Amino acid sequence: LMHPRNLLLALAAGAIAEALLHELAGVRIVAWVESVGDIAAQVDEREVTRETVDRMRALSATLAAERFTLVYQPICELATLRPHHFEALIRLDAAAGGLSTFEAITFAEDVGLILDLDLAVCRRVLAEIKARNGTGHRYVIAANLSAQSLANPRFVAELMRLVASAPEQRKQ
């Protein structure tokens, strides 16, 4: 069964969320939650919707302002134990709605912000490669992208435009 929060996440995107806040005033639903005894819980839709909208706004603002850090995990060749490339891993600012990195990524996938997250990471990776190339080293950095992003034509077009704007870094 779908968690009530995820059900509302699916409904609460953009302007729809604002309309829901007004339309659902005082309405309560009964939804099933997974817990020790699979008990039924009553959820105040208005509160959950408001919380969802607040989290969406916080995460969206965090991504727009690029208030996140990338850390680079070396991926080593087994034969030589030397780094083959680095994997960029996102670490979000505490202002991202109070979510852990894992929670923020799954939340972004649930509410349609994953495209923005993946593009922000790609922009940062390309900037990092460009900055580090001036040091005499050529780094190869991999970024994990959501399957949702890769299946989205708008994301693919934007990623292609982004990569085309950085011809020297394409192969990295």
Is the pLDDT confidence value at 161 over 70? yes
- What is the DSSP track for 38-66? --EEEEEHHHHHHHHHHHHHHHHHHHHTT
Q: pLDDT of 117-148, one tens digit each?
A: 999 999 999 988 888 877 777 788 999 999 99
Q: How confident is the model at residue 56 (pLDDT cuts 50, 70, 90)?
A: confident
CA gap 158, 102 in Å, rounded: 24
Is the pLDDT confidence value at 48 over 70? no
SS3 68: strand
CA gap 115, 63 in Å, rounded: 10
The Cα-based distances of 161 to 11, 34, 51, 155 in angstroms read: 31, 43, 35, 10
Q: Please tell me the pTM assigned to this model.
A: 0.68
pLDDT of amino acid 32: 37
Strand partners for 134: none
N-term to C-term CA, the chain: 43
Q: pLDDT of 95-110, one tens digit each?
A: 666 778 888 899 999 9
pLDDT of amino acid 100: 83
CA gap 72, 106 in Å, rounded: 21
Where is pLDDT greater, at 49 or 157? Answer: 157
- H/E stretch holding 90: strand 83-92
